[in-house]
Structure formats: C-alpha cells, structure tokens
Amino acid sequence: MAFGDAWKQISWFYYQYLLVTALYMLEPWERTVFNSLLVSVAAMAVYTGYVFMPQHIMAILHYFEML
C-alpha cells in the first residue's frame, strides 16, 4: 500500500515536471536526450561546488582574517 502511494506521488511529480517544462510535447527520445543533458549539467554543478567551494571559502576567510 505504501509503495503504491509513493509511486503515485512520484508519478504526479514527474507529470508536473513534464507540464511545467513543456516536455510533454516532445517525443520520448527527445525527452530522454533533454533529461540526460539536464542531469549531466546538474551533476557537473554539484561536483564543481563540492570540489571548489571549500577552496573559495578558505580564501574568503583568509582575506577577511577570520581564520
């Protein structure tokens, strides 16, 4: 029962995502390409933030002599 409700909720969110981004008009292969690019860009942004943000934060703290 809980799995069915969770699946229904996820399906509803995915449908909302399709409507808001107007992806419902695309063919399935076009939707797959778009979603793949979107996930790739998001993953690169998270990775870049994870790798470089500590260095920038340390530089800012050293600049303002807080460390």
Which sequence spans correspond to the domains of the chain? 1-64
What is the rounded CA–CA span in Å between residue 19 and residue 35?
Answer: 14
Say if residue 66's pLDDT is above 80: yes
The pLDDT tens digits for 16-43 are 999 999 999 999 999 999 999 999 999 9
Q: Which bin fits 27, alpha (ψ -120 to 50), beta or left (φ > 0)?
A: beta
Mean pLDDT (the chain, rounded): 94
